[in-house]
């Protein structure tokens, strides 16, 4: 049997090229090597307030983008977290073995809680729910961007703690970072990772941005005071633009250096914009095709939930049994 892979994305904001290069594109590449489960993590999204009608629409949009990017629903299981009760159930059981101090240390929790007036306790539990997503399916491999490494480490700590308290139960998940594109930075603020929830219309290129919007955002990207590309002295903005081009083109380092050294920033930006536009064009076209059939995505999500449910139920029963919680048997 193939080992299992699991990863997820929140249905918040607009999916951007960071999410694509850091996560989605790698899912597409590896999906046939594994028994693959790709999850729309709406229970994670509600750790901060979401307008209900927007959230529903975003869930379906994200499912469409998964498929448009190349996830094959005949092979991979595409699911919505809230459709499978095991995620929330296991999250509670794991919460009970997770020390608060572990959660307070999480850098994402610290950063996100600074942005909120009141911090919901769900925001602190976010990584426990993520551990539950992974451990529910005994996933061996979890492909994520670099920003999720700390959460993955925590998922392993939780699994280890559970195993040592109640006996061997969980498979230890491994983090799989992409070789390039692990951390795409904001176009306007290249010291910060590109993020769906960041304010600013020039921050991120969304996968569904029209070509003229992509061009405008990239042409306005922050660079530095050098006149042209110098690989030794380039500031974070230029490094980011080069990294985006390299991730989309798959060019090796020596080709990048030969092509871009001494190129003026205006020309660099034009070439990056063109590369991003041509790479996103087939995804956008497939997205329009997929969403032209209104019932199709709902069917894919229902079928995904049905396929994973028996796996989820059996893990929850196993965990309950280990903890001595009453089970239906
Ligand atoms: N800038 C990034 N570069 C590379 N990978 C990234 N990922 C996110 N941002 C970048 C990867 O995308 C996957 C899904 O992310 P998520 O939506 O579940 O959560 P996130 O990391 O919190 O994404 P955002 O874009 O920053 O969203 P908001 O602003 O809503 O929190 C993950 O694998 C992540 O590593």
Same domain, 138 and 274: no
Q: Which domain holds residue 221?
A: 211-288
Q: Which of 22, 28, 114 to mutate to test the pocket of ligand 1 (most atoms within 8 A of CB)?
A: 22
So what's the pLDDT on residue 266? 97
**pTM for the full predicted model:** 0.94
Residue with tokens 């059939």: 293
What is the distance between the alpha carbons of residues 67 and 72, in angstroms, rounded to a whole number? 6
Task: Considering the candidates 140, 196, 217, 269, report the single residue annotated as catalytic.
Answer: 196
The pLDDT of residue 294 is 82
Asked if the structure places residue 201 within a domain, the reply is: no
Instruction: Examine the domain organization and report whether 284 and 299 are in the same domain.
Output: no
**Residue owning the nearest CA to atom 18 of ligand 1:** 9
Atom of ligand 1 nearest to the CA of 15: 25
Q: What integer pLDDT is reported at residue 145 of this predicted model?
A: 84
Rounded to the nearest whole angstrom, what is the distance from the C-alpha of residue 251 to the centroid of ligand 1?
A: 24
182 belongs to a structural domain:
no
Six-digit token string for 314: 């059996």
Quick one: 170 and 244 in the same domain?
Answer: no
What CA–CA distances, in Å, run from 247 to 4, 10, 22? 26, 22, 10
pLDDT at 240: 98
Is residue 194, in this structure, part of any structural domain at all? Answer: no
**pLDDT value at position 150?**
96
| pLDDT value of residue 116 | 80
- 61 plus 12 within the same structural domain: yes
Residue minimizing CA distance to atom 35 of ligand 1: 145
Report whether residue 196 contacts ligand 1, using a CB cutoff of 6 Å: yes
Ligand 1 centre to CA of 232 (Å) is 29
Establish whether residue 173 lines the binding site of ligand 1, counting it when its CB lies within 6 angstroms of any ligand atom: no
Catalytic-residue membership of 74: no
Q: Other CB atoms closer than 10 Å to residue 253's CB: what's the count?
A: 9
Cβ–Cβ < 8 Å for 244, 272: yes
Same domain, yes or no, for 267 and 306?
A: no
> Do 267 and 311 share a structural domain?
no
Instruction: Classify residue 259: in a domain, yes or no.
Output: yes
**Residue 19 CA, ligand 1 centroid: distance in Å:** 5
Residue 33 lies in a domain: yes
164 and 249 in a common domain: no
Consecutive sets of 10 residues in the chain, 329 residues long: mean pLDDT of each? 95 95 94 98 95 96 98 98 98 98 94 85 96 98 91 98 98 90 92 88 96 97 94 96 97 97 97 98 98 94 98 97 89
Strands 77-80 and 4-9: unpaired
Q: CATH code at 281?
A: 1.10.240.10
Residues 306 and 278 in one domain: no
State residue 180's pLDDT score: 78
Q: Is the CB of 19 inside a 6 Å radius of any atom of ligand 1?
A: yes
Number of folded domains in the chain?
2
**C-alpha separations of 283 from 48, 101, 275, 288 in Å:** 29, 42, 14, 9
Whether residue 229 sits in one domain with residue 94:
no
Residue 6 φ then ψ, to 5°: -140, 140
Q: How far is the CA of 145 from the centre of ligand 1 (A)?
A: 7
Q: Could you tell me which of 185, 134, 132 has the C-alpha nearest to residue 21?
A: 185
**pLDDT for the residue numbered 59:** 97
What is the best residue among 19, 24, 55, 69 to mutate for testing ligand 1's pocket, by most ligand atoms within 8 Å of CB?
19
Instruction: List residues bridging with 152 in a β-sheet.
Output: none
Q: Residue 183 falls within a domain, yes or no?
A: no
Helix (H) / strand (E) element for 72: namely none
CA of 327 to the centre of ligand 1 (A): 36
Q: Is the CB of 279 under 6 A from ligand 1?
A: no
Residues 227 and 131 in one domain: no
**What's the rounded Cα separation, in Å, for the pair 216 and 202?**
8
Specify whether 140 is catalytic.
no
281 and 316 fall within a common domain? no
In short, whether 43's Cβ falls inside 6 Å of ligand 1 is: no
Same domain, 41 and 152: yes
Interval between CA 146 and ligand 1 midpoint (Å): 9
**Is residue 253 assigned to a domain?**
yes
Is 112 annotated in the active site? yes
- In the block, tokens 């249905």 appear at 11
Task: Give me the pLDDT at residue 179, please.
Answer: 81
Report which ligand 1 atom has the smallest distance to the Cα of 194. 1
């Amino acid at each position: 049997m193939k080992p299992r892979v699991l990863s997820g994305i929140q249905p918040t904001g607009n999916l951007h090229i960071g999410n694509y290069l850091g996560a989605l594109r790698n899912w597409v590449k590896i999906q046939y090597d594994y028994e693959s489960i790709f999850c729309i993590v709406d229970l994670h999204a509600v750790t901060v307030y979401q307008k209900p009608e927007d959230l529903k629409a975003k869930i379906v949009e994200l499912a469409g983008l998964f498929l448009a990017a190349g996830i094959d629903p005949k092979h991979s299981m595409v699911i919505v977290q809230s459709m499978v009760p095991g995620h929330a159930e296991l999250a509670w059981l794991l919460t009970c073995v997770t020390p608060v101090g572990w959660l307070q240390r999480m850098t994402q929790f610290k950063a996100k809680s600074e942005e909120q007036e009141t911090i919901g306790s769900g925001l602190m539990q976010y990584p426990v729910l993520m551990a539950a997503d992974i451990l529910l399916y005994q996933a061996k491999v979890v492909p994520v961007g670099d920003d999720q490494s700390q959460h993955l480490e925590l998922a392993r700590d939780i699994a280890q703690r559970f195993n040592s308290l109640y006996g061997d139960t969980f498979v230890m998940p491994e983090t799989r970072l992409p070789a390039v594109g692990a951390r795409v930075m904001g176009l306007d603020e290249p010291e910060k990772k590109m993020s769906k929830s960041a304010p600013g219309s020039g921050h991120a290129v969304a996968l569904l941005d029209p070509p003229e919007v992509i061009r405008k955002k990239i042409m306005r990207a922050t660079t530095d005071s050098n006149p042209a590309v110098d690989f030794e002295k380039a500031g974070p903005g230029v490094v980011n633009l080069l990294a985006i081009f390299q991730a989309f083109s798959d060019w090796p380092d020596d080709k990048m250096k030969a092509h871009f050294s001494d190129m003026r920033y205006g020309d660099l930006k034009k070439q990056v914009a063109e590369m991003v536009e041509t790479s996103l064009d087939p995804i956008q076209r497939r997205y329009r095709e997929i969403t032209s059939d209104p019932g199709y995505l709902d069917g894919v999500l229902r079928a995904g939930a049905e396929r994973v449910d028996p796996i989820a139920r059996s893990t929850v029963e196993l965990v309950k049994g280990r903890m001595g919680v009453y089970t239906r048997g």
